């Protein structure tokens, strides 16, 4: 069971890194006509990132108790 949790933890860490990069790119200046759509997408990724970080913390705590 530890192996499966470790795979999930590694996958979440990778997803968090990718989401952070996407947020950085969306936060860069852009054409005025795209501001609203990019802002909405950035907010979406920030919420998703927060959920993934909470899930990662929960999995790491579980795996820490098992080890």
* Helices vs strands, H then E, count in the chain: 2, 0
pLDDT tens digit sequence for 32-47: 999 999 999 999 999 9
* Gap between the Cα atoms of 67 and 22, Å rounded: 34
**Per-residue pLDDT for the chain (67 aa), expressed as one digit of tens each?**
567 888 999 999 999 999 999 999 999 998 999 999 999 999 999 999 999 999 999 998 987 765 5
pTM: 0.82
Task: Report pLDDT for 26.
Answer: 94
């Amino acid at each position: 069971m530890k192996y499966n949790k470790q795979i999930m933890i590694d996958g979440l860490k990778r997803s968090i890194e990718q989401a952070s990069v996407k947020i950085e790119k969306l936060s860069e200046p852009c054409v005025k006509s795209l501001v609203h759509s990019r802002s909405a997408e950035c907010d979406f990724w920030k919420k998703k990132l927060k959920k993934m970080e909470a899930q990662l913390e929960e999995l790491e705590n579980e795996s820490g108790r098992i080890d």
